[in-house]
Amino acid sequence: MSTQPAVINRAKGLRGWLLQDVPQSITQARVQRFYLAWLVFRRNPIAMTGFLIIATLVAMAIFAPWVTSSNGLEPHLRDRLQPASAAHWFGTDGLGRDIYDRIVWGSRITLYIVGLVGVIVVPVGLLVGTLAGYVGGAVDNVLMRITDIFLAFPRLILALALVAALGPGLENAVLAIALTTWSPYARIARAEALTIRNSEFIMAAKVQGASTGGILFRHVMPLCISSVIVRLTLDMAGIILTAAGLGFLGLGAQPPTPEWGAMISAGRQYLLDQWWIPTVPGIAIFVVSLGFNLLGDGLRDVLDPKSSE
């Protein structure tokens, strides 16, 4: 192996600070790690495409009031069933509502669903997993049994049953999805906790008198977060598809909310003659799901290079 010449860092200013060989502070070290990961990420065209798609989604959601001409909720029966035109980029639906506007507003709902599921699933998974992995023994056994049981459940059907009991609605759909999705994260967190459990800094914390809870919250969990988040990104596409499926069945957001799955369902009757009404929301779902899959793949490549290239 030929010895490689040391990369001489001649960049100045911010870039120089980011690329400096030996970081001068913890903050700098953290930022540098982030930046280097970003550089690797940036080189991967697949990941970047995914990132751009998701960034567009987020931008759409944030700037919805400014990029739409209406709130997509009020019927304009005179304009119903119009094909794509300059006035209505994606045409209008059965109630005369601008489809483009509804798609843009629907992006907020998509993000809301994804965010809500994440907010439920990540803490629950982390808590259960790190507790099981760190404490071990009977606690581990019981918790993992429970996790396995949830892991074995069919996601969609169980969501159906839950919604049947609780009634249709966006939050209920989210709850149903979260209930059937949290298990893998607990497993991942547990695996990480198991490897960290015997580290020296944990022993040091114990010697200093830290309680189990303290150790869990301040040391173990923060280290497990990144793998859980990567997995969440990989799962997001599936979550979106499940949510759209529930919406399609009429079990998610209720009309007139412009949830994309529900839009497809409502537009189904117009499939033959005004095909754009159910088709365009489906394309939106497709693109976003694709974006998350690309992003997740890219993230995984960055963090675990041997898994692909």
Partner 1 sequence: MIMEDKPLLSVENLHVSFDTPKGVVDAVRGVSFQLGREKLGIVGESGSGKSQTGRAILGLLAARGHARATRVEFDGIDLLRADERTMRTIRGDRISMIMQDPKYSLNPVMTVGKQIEEAYLVHTQASKVQARERTLEMLEAVRIRNPRHVYHAYPHEVSGGMGQRIMIAMMMIPQPDIIIADEPTSALDVTVQLQVLAILDDMVTQNGMGLIFISHDLNLVASFCDRVLIMYDGQVMEVRDADDLQNAEHPYTRGLLSCLPQVGDSRDLAVLKRDPAWSAYQGAEVD
Partner 2 sequence: MAESASARQLAAGPSASSAPLSILRAVAGVLSTLLLTFIGLTAITFVIGRVMPADPVLAIVGDRASQAVYDQVYQQMGLDRPIYEQYWRYLGQLVQGDLGTSIMTAQPVMDDILRFFPATLELATIATLLGIFLGIPMGVLAAVNHGRWPDHFVRIFGLLGYSVPVFWLGMVGLLIFYANLGWVAGPGRLDVFYNDIVTPVTGVILVDAAMDGEWDIFWNAMSHLILPASILGTFALAYIARMTRSFMLDQLNQEYVLTARVKGMSESRVIWRHAFRNVQVQLITIIGLTYASLLEGSVLTETVFSWPGIGQYITRSLFNADMNAVLGGTIVVGVCFVGINMFSDLLYKLVDPRAR
Interface with partner 1 (CB under 8 A) = 1-4
Decide: helix, strand or coil at residue 92. Answer: strand
Q: Which is nearer to partner 1, 4 or 208 (CB)?
A: 4
The site partner of 290 among partner 1, partner 2, none (C-beta below 5 to 8 Å per kind) is partner 2
User: Cβ 255 to partner 2, closest distance in Å?
Assistant: 15
Nearer to partner 1, 171 or 304 (CB): 304
The distance of closest approach from Cβ of residue 71 to partner 1 in the complex, given in angstroms and rounded to an integer, is 49
Question: In a 10 Å sphere around its CB, with 0-12 CB exposed, 13-18 middle and 19+ buried, how is residue 49 labelled?
Answer: middle
160 binds, among partner 2, partner 1, none (CB under 5 to 8 A by kind): partner 2
Give min distance, CB of 230 to partner 2, in A: 16
- Closest to partner 1 by CB, 202 or 303: 303
Place of tokens 């200093």: 208
Residue 277 interacts with which of partner 1, partner 2, none, CB < 5 to 8 Å by class: none
Least separation in angstroms between residue 308's CB and partner 2 is 8
Q: How far apart are the C-alpha atoms of 185 and 124, rounded to whole Å? A: 8
Q: Which does 146 bind (CB under 5 to 8 A by kind): partner 2, partner 1, none?
A: partner 2
Residue 284 Cβ vs partner 2, minimum distance, rounded to whole Å: 10
What is the chain's alpha carbon radius of gyration, rounded to the nearest angstrom? 24
Chain-centroid distance, C-alpha 111: 8
Spatial neighbors of 77 by CB under 8 A, at least 6 apart, are 95, 96
Nearest Cα residue to 214 out of 223, 203, 206: 206
C-beta closer to partner 2: residue 146 or 210: 146
Q: Which residues contact partner 2 by CB under 8 A?
A: 145-146, 148-150, 152-158, 160-166, 237, 241, 244-245, 248-251, 261, 264, 268, 271-272, 275, 278-279, 282, 285-286, 289-290, 292-294, 297, 307
Closest distance to partner 1 from the beta carbon of 302 (Å): 13
CB 63 within 8 A of CB 75: no
The least CB distance from residue 264 to partner 1, in Å, is 43
Distance CA 176, CA 172 (A): 6
The site partner of 1 among partner 1, partner 2, none (C-beta below 5 to 8 Å per kind) is partner 1
How far does the chain reach from its first CA to its final CA, in angstroms? Answer: 21
Q: Where are the alpha helices (DSSP H) in the chain?
A: 13-19, 26-43, 45-62, 64-67, 99-135, 137-151, 155-166, 170-181, 183-196, 200-207, 212-215, 221-248, 260-267, 276-303
* Residue 30 vs 268, nearer CB to partner 2: 268
Rank residues 80 and 300 by Cβ distance to partner 1 and give the closer one: 300
* Amino acid at position 172, single letter: N
198 binds, among partner 1, partner 2, none (CB under 5 to 8 A by kind): none
Do residues 294 and 53 touch, judged by C-beta distance below 8 A? yes
- Kindly tell me which of 99 and 220 has the beta carbon lying closer to partner 2: 99
CA neighbor of 218 nearest in space, from 208, 229, 231:
208
Residue 215 or 263: the one with the smaller Cβ distance to partner 2 is 263
In whole angstroms, the minimum distance from the beta carbon of 284 to partner 1 comes to: 36
Bridge partners (DSSP) of residue 92 are: 98
